[in-house]
Structures are given as structure tokens and as C-alpha cells.
Structure 1
Amino acid sequence: MNTTRRQVLAGLTLAATLGPSPAGAVPRRLMPKDFLWGSAISAHQSEGNNTNSDSWLLEHLPETVFKEPSGSACDSYNRYAQDFAIARSLGLNCYRFGIEWARIEPEEGRFSQTELDHYVQVLASCRAHGLLPIVTYNHFTVPLWFAQRGGWEAADSPDLFARFCEHATRALGDQIGMASPFNEANIHLLVKVFRMTATPEHRARRVAMIAAAARKTNAPRFSSILFAEPDRIEPNLLAAHAKAYQAIKAGPGDFPVGVTLTTQAVEAVGENSLAPLVEATLYGGWWDAVNQSDFVGVQAYTRIRVDAKGPTGAPAGAEMTAAGYEYYPQALGSVIRLAAAKTRKPIYVTESGIATDDDTRRVAWLNDSVAEVEKCLHEGIDVRSYIYWSLLDNFEWTQGYSQHFGLVAVDRTSFIRTPKPSARHLAGLIRGN
């Protein structure tokens, strides 16, 4: 859908309602002149009606582990100009979002020019709003045909993904500002860590869902990244990143292409802690991939405490977020320092956020997280962004719409966007620079 004057004006009208940041709530921050302030979102979680994806099928199975289907999500497929206008009104200068493979290549080898043209318009609108487009080529979801033939378990999956990246870049590359082939390229390894403490019932429900998907689609091996066997897909994902990097760098466009990682801080508890094993498991071969790319994106939400038996719970009395894990913004500083120790590549904070219905805690999260970035800068670490997850309250995978990470609330029926006080606060933080 073309960007209409009505959409732009609707976004600007919302922006006018933001008003000033709460008095006295904004500490002064001093970031580099070219520092990137942004928010992040994914295609499936915000666009809506991604009917040709693996996740859409899984969400609608009787055996699903998803609390609810994604449906129309935030209708960002049609309302992207509103989202860009809100982001710019907050003083953001970049916007991280995904293009949806399941839309662009709905059938194996057939690429939709209509969908490529749509994303050309999205990118042009992003730039017209003064935002640097940071593009994710794959944010977990894949075309249904790709999942039916084995997903990332298939030996030729790296070549198929590289082919998609080549076609997408050919159409979009001259508008892209930065890119990563994958969101959280090591997400499957975080799943592997979590399985160390998962109950048999938890595991069985996920196995049953994937088996039901295979029956539903008459697929010999249906596979979806968040529910696959991590060791089986790790080599193919590493190869897919390497091939996609080359395909994207071939252009058109001349922009950095990096690796974004899930980088939860791993902390040892007591004697004989398995923390070194957990950390090695979490990152696998991905630091080597970083060193063959242009930058690393760190994405931190909490810490993982590890004792002699494996991951353990939060300390007694710790504050917990609505996502069920510990409120611990100090994790961001920890993972930035880890990245600085592992690579000489520039470091971008590509996600940092909190699920909460108490917006005062989101304000505190922003203060604490930005302070961590500031400390790392003062230590001489090359940190170049703070990108908050997420601009909008959106679809949070198996948790549906129950968790609210957004700076902006979205009415589930009308899709009206309502900025929260934390959005005004972030605008104040940025103005302070």
C-alpha cells in the first residue's frame, strides 16, 4: 500500500500529543555526535497477517504452544508511516525493522515484485522521516515452503537464504542504511541453554506441535528455528550467515552488514559453576562470524545466573519483569564489555527493553540502560547506538499480546497508537544529548 497523506498526518497528529518530558526526570547524557538512537521491531510481530509463514501455521494448530495467534498484529504493514512519524517525533534517528521472507518469496523460487515494491516504499518512507533504515533480513519466521522441506536442517538452506538475500538486496539495497542477515543469530543456542532446565512437559508440548505441523502440511521434516534441535541447525545457520553476507555486500548499496546476537549476561553463582559451559554454549561459533562481518549488535534483557547444576533462578527478592525474568539492566554493560573483549568490530546496542505494565519501571529501565552505555563509552569502548525494543506493544511470540515492551500502546481493535510517558522520557534523554 502506498504511503498516503492521511497516514503521515495521523502520525504527526500523534506526535503532537507527546508534549514535554516529565519535569526533572531527564539526566544529562553526553553521547558522540553521530550516536544512533532508535527503536526496533520485526515484520511478523508488527505487520500482521503474515499468512504464508511457518509461525502463522503453528499459531493456529490445535496443538499450538502459542497463547494466541498474531492476527493483524499492529497493522504496521499498512501503518508504517505512522510508526516512522512517531519515532521521529521522539528524536530517534534510526529505525530497525525486518523484511518478511515469507511475503517476498511465497513459493520456492518465485519472488513477488509486489512485495518488493512495498518494501521499497517502506524504506523510502523511513528515510523521508529522517530515520536511518536498519534492516533485518530474517527475524525467526520463514516461508512455509522452507519449513516444510526441513527449514534450517536442510543441507541447501544456506544457499536458499543467500538467494533470497540477493534478490531482496537487488531491489532494496540502495535504500538500506545498515543490515544483518539474522536477528539474534544464536537464538537457537539460547533455546539450548533454556532446555537445560525445561520440564519434560514443556519439551513434549513443543515436539507435539511440530509433529502436528508436519502432519498438517504432509511434510517429512517440518522445522522451525525456535523449536528445532539446536545442534542440527547450527552449522547451516553459520554457513547461511556467511553466504548471505556476501550476497548482501554485492549490492547495490554500500552499507555495513553485521551480526546481531542474543547476549544475556552469564554470571557464576557459587563453586564449580557451569557458567563457562553455558557461555560457550550460548555463543557457539558466532564470535568468529562477527569477526568476518562489519559490526556486532548486542541484545540484552537480563542475566543468566549459573550454579554447579546449570542455570538457576533470580536472587531472593529480586524484581521481576512481566516477561518472568529478573529486572537487571546492568546486563547491558556486561555484554557490551564482553563484545569488546571478543572483537574489534564496532558495537551497536540493537535491542534493549523491558516488559512491564508499570511505565515508571520502563522509565527507570531507560535511565539505567543508557547509563550503562555511557559508562562503556567512558571506558573507551566503541558503542554506536542505543535501540530500544520496542516502539510498539506487539506480538511476543508464544506469549501473544500479554507482554508489553512498547514505548507506544496499540489498541487491539482500532490500532490507534498512544505514546506512553516513557516515550516522552526517551525523547528527553535524546534532547539532553
Structure 2
Amino acid sequence: MAPPAGAAPARLPSTFAWGVSSSGFQSEGSSPDSNWRRHTHSGRTHDRVGTSVDFRHRYREDIARAARLGVGVYRIGVEWARIEPRPGVIDHDELAYYDDVVAAIVAAGMRPMITLDHWVYPGWIADRGGWADPATREDWLRNARRVVNRYDRFHPYWITINEPFTYVTNELRIGGITPAAVPTMVDGLVDVHRAIYRYIHRRDPKAMVSSNVAYIPTVEPALDIAYLDRLRGALDFIGIDYYYSVSPGDTNAWRAATEEQWLAPVAADGLYYALRDYARRFPGIPLYVVESGMPTRDGADRPDGYRRGDHLRDLVYWLQRARGDGVDVIGYNYWSLTDNYEWGSYTPRFGLYTVDVGTDPTLTRRPTDAVEAYRRITAANGVPAEYRPTRSAEVCSLVAAPSSCLEPVR
């Protein structure tokens, strides 16, 4: 049953930010020595990273594609492993590459969103024990200050640490740390965020700095105790990544943590509950959806029949409903502009433009139906008042349980 006719999406302010997200390691290709390059060459991943979609050499055309979508924000990662391949040795050619990327984003009329740490660090840091070594904190901060000094004149949005809980989980999975080192890593991530937050604000008092959190249904408030709750007073907005949903009796929710993400449920109304949850737990702090999207398998239709364009419109509808209910959400980024390397495999596809890395040596970007959907959304600053989701709201969503089930939105 579809929502009632009166459930109209709210109008968004003219200042609302539309964007696309990407990361360095996942899209650049030709990766230098790092913890993740070593892992992809270990034989324990489905695919090696290789060229990825070659953003390293095709960034101008991809930035132009983003601009034609009508978005105003382009999120990138500036990879420490490229900049400092050996301790104290700076690769100025790679810095020049990032200079060009940021300049191209600005020239195209977009605001950069720069991620300082998207799970990848240099191989020499891995040799020293990664985040298990307390010295990594100062090494990390030295690099982060270098990046901030170079690009703060563009007034980017800053993301310090990408999805910290997943970062720690992945470090355990690939052998970067042992279970005994988890507290050291978590404390380190908290410390470097707070330190670079202060540093950025000394240079730019009006800066917008955050750390984006992968919203894990039901358990996110408990996870936030270890990290996000400890950043209170050092967040200018809360970055939220929303992908997966869960409801009673759902037997596929666990797929989100496997190599079969395209089988996991992606009910769009869960975004409303994630936003409402953070608005209640962090009152007075704006929210920004830093990542959101939907996986397919090798670009094929999903088994549940959900199309990328419909899912995108449905997500935006529920975002607007949240805004109408008083949630101060200020921006939305789609993950991602193009398909990319999903941390071990090219099979999961999230791109507005699909790229067949394994079979197409030209790495041609082919638009999905969501490209035109997003163009219409950015042109109209949201979905129109008469829009209704293609899928009904969950009868009892457990995304932000128990409130999402006890206080449903229809």
C-alpha cells in the first residue's frame, strides 16, 4: 500500500547541497604501496585493484559529468600513500595531481568535499604496525595538516575519518591490527579527529568538518558510544552514510556484510529514521548524507526489481519528509558517480555511471537510469510535491529501533 496522498515531501532550501561521493583508492587505480594494495595482492580478494576506473587519468571527464548532473559538491579522497610514499619523502607530482583535481572541481562550479582518511595508509605505516602503533597518530596529523594547508583556501567540506567502525572492522579483517589493538586504534581515530578539527578551525573559523558514520540499523547508537559520542563539540555537521534496511522476519539483512550486497534490503524509508535518530541524539547539529546508494551485481537488475533511478527518487522523498518534520539535513551525496573497486571486488556496482572494469579496456562510462533522475532532482531541488515513493514504507522498520517501529512514518 502506497503512502497516503497527503504525505507530501517538504520543499528544500535553496542552500541545500547536492553532490556525488568517491574515494581515492577505490576509483583512482595505479595505486602505490599501501595497506590495501598489499591486501589486494595477497590472493585473499576476489579482484585486484589494478586500474580501477582510472580516475587518476580521467578525473577531468568525470568532474565534467558531475557538473552536468547539476550537483554542487564533489567528494574526493586525498591519499596519504600517494603523497608520502616513504617516511618524510613527498611526491610533488602526486601533490600536483591533487592540485589539478581540486582546481577542476572548483572551476566546474562545485565545492570540494575532501576526505583525509578513507581506510588507506602508506605501506611504511603498515610496516610499523598501522594504528596499533601510537606513533601513527602524529604521522597521520603531519600529513593531514599538509593537506589542510594546501586546500583550505577553497573552503571545502572536510571529512576526517571515513566510517570509523567499518575502518576498524576492515583492519581486523585484513590483518592490519589484532583484536587487542582495537582500543588503541579507536582512541587514535578520536584523537586525530579532534586535533585536526582544532587545526582546521584555527585556519578557517567557518570551516565545516565532520566524520561520516555508516549507519548500522538498530545498533548504531551503541556503536556511537565508542567514537561519535566522543566527538561532541568537534563536529560542525554529522555525516551519515545510509545504504541498508532491516525489518522483522527479513532473512537477507545480513547480506550487507557479505560479498552479496545486492541481495540486502535497501528500503528507502530507513533514511528518514536514520536522520531522525541523529537529530534526536545530537540536537542542534546539522546532518549531511555523505553517502547513499544501492548496489547491483555487475550492473544487472536487482532480484527485488528496485531500479537505481526509482531508489534515488524514493531516498530524496524520505529526506524531504525528514526535513519537513524538522530535521536539519543540509546536503545529500550519491555514492558514487561511477562504479569503482568495492574493497576486494568489482562485482558490486553503485555508480550512476556503470563501468565494466573486468571486461572493457576502454573503461567507458555508461549512464544508468539514475543519471537523468538525478539531473531532474538537482534542477528542481528535490522531488516534486506530488511525488510518492515507488515502494511502501516498511510496516515495522528496525533501522532505528525501537522508535522506527513504534513511531512509524507513513
Coarse TM-score class (shorter-chain normalised)? 0.7 to 0.9
Per the TM alignment, residue 107 of structure 1 is displaced from its structure 2 partner at its CA by 1.1
Taking only the aligned residue pairs, the percentage that are identical comes to 28
Give the one of 321, 326, 332 matched to 1:380: 326
Q: Alignment partner of 1:380: what SS?
A: coil
Per the TM alignment, residue 366 of structure 1 is displaced from its structure 2 partner at its CA by 0.6
Per the TM alignment, residue 81 of structure 1 is displaced from its structure 2 partner at its CA by 0.9
- Which one-letter code corresponds to 2:243 in the other structure? Y
Per the TM alignment, residue 96 of structure 1 is displaced from its structure 2 partner at its CA by 0.9
- 1:144 is the counterpart of 2:123: yes
- Determine the C-alpha separation between the residues in 2 that align with 1:247 and 1:93: 26
- 1:303 is the counterpart of 2:245: yes
Q: Alignment partner of 2:327: what SS?
A: coil
- Determine the C-alpha separation between the residues in 2 that align with 1:188 and 1:42: 14
Q: Alignment partner of 1:87: what SS?
A: helix
Residue 303 to residue 230, structure 1, CA distance change in 2 (3 Å)? farther
Match of 1:329 in 2: 268
**Structure 1 length-normalised TM:** 0.77
Match of 1:98 in 2: 77
| Counterparts of residues 390-405 of structure 1 (less than 5 Å) | 390-398=336-344, 400-405=345-350
- 1:414 is the counterpart of 2:362: yes
- Determine the C-alpha separation between the residues in 2 that align with 1:425 and 1:159: 44
Give the one of 1, 15, 23 matched to 1:42: 23
Match of 1:258 in 2: 210
| Counterparts of residues 17-96 of structure 1 (less than 5 Å) | 30-62=11-43, 64=44, 66-96=45-75
Q: Alignment partner of 1:386: what SS?
A: strand
**Contact 1:158 1:241 (C-alpha < 8 Å) held by counterparts:** no
Residue 315 to residue 72, structure 1, CA distance change in 2 (3 Å)? closer
Give the one of 288, 308, 313 matched to 1:362: 308
Q: Which moved more, 1:282-291 or 1:164-173?
A: 282-291
Per the TM alignment, residue 54 of structure 1 is displaced from its structure 2 partner at its CA by 1.1
Give the one of 342, 353, 373 matched to 2:293: 353
**Structure 2 length-normalised TM:** 0.81
Match of 2:135 in 1: 156
- Determine the C-alpha separation between the residues in 2 that align with 1:228 and 1:372: 41
- 1:169 is the counterpart of 2:121: no
Q: Alignment partner of 2:139: what SS?
A: helix
Match of 2:111 in 1: 132
**Contact 1:393 1:407 (C-alpha < 8 Å) held by counterparts:** yes
**Contact 1:102 1:142 (C-alpha < 8 Å) held by counterparts:** yes
Q: Alignment partner of 1:137: what SS?
A: strand
Residues 256-287 of structure 1: CA distance to partner in whole angstroms, max 9, x if unpaired?
11121111231xxxxxxxx5xx7413552312
User: Unaligned 5+ residue runs, structure 1?
Assistant: 1-26, 193-202, 211-222, 267-274
- 1:429 is the counterpart of 2:374: no
Q: Alignment partner of 1:89: what SS?
A: helix
**Contact 1:298 1:351 (C-alpha < 8 Å) held by counterparts:** yes
- Determine the C-alpha separation between the residues in 1 that align with 2:53 and 2:230: 36
Residue 191 to residue 99, structure 1, CA distance change in 2 (3 Å)? closer
Residue 234 to residue 354, structure 1, CA distance change in 2 (3 Å)? same
Match of 1:269 in 2: none
Per the TM alignment, residue 231 of structure 1 is displaced from its structure 2 partner at its CA by 3.4
**Contact 2:9 2:321 (C-alpha < 8 Å) held by counterparts:** no
Q: Which moved more, 1:324-333 or 1:379-388?
A: 324-333
Q: Alignment partner of 1:96: what SS?
A: strand
- Determine the C-alpha separation between the residues in 2 that align with 1:228 and 1:113: 37
Match of 1:18 in 2: none
Per the TM alignment, residue 432 of structure 1 is displaced from its structure 2 partner at its CA by 2.3
**Contact 1:348 1:383 (C-alpha < 8 Å) held by counterparts:** yes
